[in-house]
Structure 1
Amino acid sequence: MENEEIRKDKFESYVVVHNIAKRHNVGTLARSATAFGVAELILVGRRDFNAFGSHGSTSHLRFRHFHSLSLARSYLKERDCDICGVEITETAMAVNEHPFRKSTAFLLGNEGTGLSAKECEICDFFVYIPQYGGGTASLNVTVAASIVLHHYAVWAGFSERTREGNKFLVAEKPANQMRRKYCTDTAEAIAEERKLKKENAANGFFNESGKDEASSNLLDALFDS
């Protein structure tokens, strides 16, 4: 019982969004992150995303932005977080075995290619989700996130929300909706951003204006008062 109380007060979970191909998946990720008590959703690279599928959950979730994985990693390590890659690797442990030790940030791979070598380098360990049917090779990234975050919440002893009728009771929206939180523009951060823009110009991960005119419901709109 004492260990369970320590968990409730001590541990936090984070979700790192780096290279998800379908940006509308981020809205659904935000909804799952809110449901399972995630402390922050960390955007790495581009600043914007499509909020479709979030069903208003974004107003109950903190967002933070970094230009690179290395900067995001430094931030998480300052908070004594493990970084857990959700990927089927040789060393990956089944998520239902709850191989967690402390506050944990979950890094999920691209829908088509999974975690890249660069993403794997910043991970402290990996978990996979056991499958029991033979009809699919992998799960949708938002489904995988929901399963992993639920297991972590159970292990960490997060308090279950109150139910009302056939739904969970939704908290009131914050009085002052939090504005965007970006990493400090130090000389190192600016140099890192410029380097990444050059490296990723070919695939459009960054564009020169920093905006995607085709997208709707962007992070800018969500956090501007």
Structure 2
Amino acid sequence: MAAEEAAGVECRVVVHNIAKRHNVGTMARSATAFGVTEFILVGRRDFNAFGSHGSTSHLRFRHFHSLTDARLYLKERDSDICGVEIADGAVAVNQHPFRKSTAFLLGNEGTGLSPKECEICDFFVYIPQYGCGTASLNVTVAASIVLHHFGVWAGFLERTRDGNKFVVADRPMKQVRKNYCSETDEAVIEERKIRRENASVSFFDTSGADDSTSNLLDTLFDG
């Protein structure tokens, strides 16, 4: 994709109850390097910013209580959801099977994406390996490779350099707590609206009992 065609194309990262919370900080560092516009946490709101080297100040964080809520938010923004997993029908990431704005869902470091996580994905990519010494990559390494490939496909403009390093933007004036996904009032209102709508639609749907119950309880406590 040419650079002029990349206008409006956004890249997001979605992590769901990631086991090693210190990996979030390292992923945030890669996310800022490769043009990610938003980092979405599903489940736990807190994380360890270790390894981010201050990059969390340059990245927008958003939190959702359930995968269903996160999916609705992304679909409202016309974004595909790409699971990073060796699943049936998965395409090698170096083939760049992207079409538009994309959110990359990365699974637990040990077990990969769960069936519930796979359900919300539109397609899957995997990272080809050429050596025989390991069966899988660390989630932060996998994220870096995939995000770099998306940036190449989208034609993101390369950051300017000063000597042997890339120029870092000034930190935003408003600083947030470094290990907690806080949100703007607008984001909170929007999230509550989505959860209320989900609760009213799926209250009697036993197939989604876990998410529905969570949404209903959150709505009651949020008032």
Per-residue CA shift, 1:191-225, capped at 9, x if unaligned?
6878349xxxxxxxxxxxxxxxxxxxxxxxxxxxx
Partner of 1:19: 17
1:188 has 2:186 as partner = no
Percentage identity across paired residues of the two chains = 73
Deviation of 1:189 after TM superposition, in Å, equals: 7.6
Deviation of 1:165 after TM superposition, in Å, equals: 1.5
Higher relative helix content: 2
Q: 2:7 aligns to what SS in structure 1?
A: helix
Partner of 1:214: none
Q: TM-score, normalised by structure 1?
A: 0.81
Partner of 1:103: 101
Letter in 2 for 1:195: T
Q: TM-score, normalised by structure 2?
A: 0.82
Per-residue CA shift, 1:57-90, capped at 9, x if unaligned?
0000000011100000000001100000000012
Q: 2:104 aligns to what SS in structure 1?
A: strand
**Is the CA contact 2:68–2:211 (under 8 Å) kept in the aligned structure 1?**
no
Q: 1:33 aligns to what SS in structure 2?
A: helix
Greater shift after overlay, 158-167 or 131-140?
Answer: 158-167
**Is the CA contact 1:44–1:68 (under 8 Å) kept in the aligned structure 2?**
yes
**Is the CA contact 1:66–1:183 (under 8 Å) kept in the aligned structure 2?**
no
Deviation of 1:99 after TM superposition, in Å, equals: 0.3
Alignment of 1:124-139 (within 5 A): 124-139=122-137
Runs of 4+ in structure 1 deviating by more than 4 angstroms, as ranges, are: 189-194
1:74 has 2:69 as partner = no
Per-residue CA shift, 1:16-68, capped at 9, x if unaligned?
01031100000001000000010100011111000000000000000001110
Aligned length: 196
Partner of 1:8: 6
* Residue 190 to residue 52, structure 1, CA distance change in 2 (3 Å): farther
* Residue 4 to residue 178, structure 1, CA distance change in 2 (3 Å): farther
Alignment of 1:46-195 (within 5 A): 46-177=44-175, 180-181=182-183, 183-184=188-189, 185-186=192-193, 188=196, 195=213
Q: 2:142 aligns to what SS in structure 1?
A: helix
* Residue 7 to residue 183, structure 1, CA distance change in 2 (3 Å): farther
What do you get for the CA RMSD once the two structures are aligned? 2.2
Structure 2: tracts of 5 or more residues without a match: 200-209, 216-223
Distance in 2 of aligned mates of 1:5 and 1:139: 30
Q: 2:105 aligns to what SS in structure 1?
A: strand
Structure 1: tracts of 5 or more residues without a match: 198-225
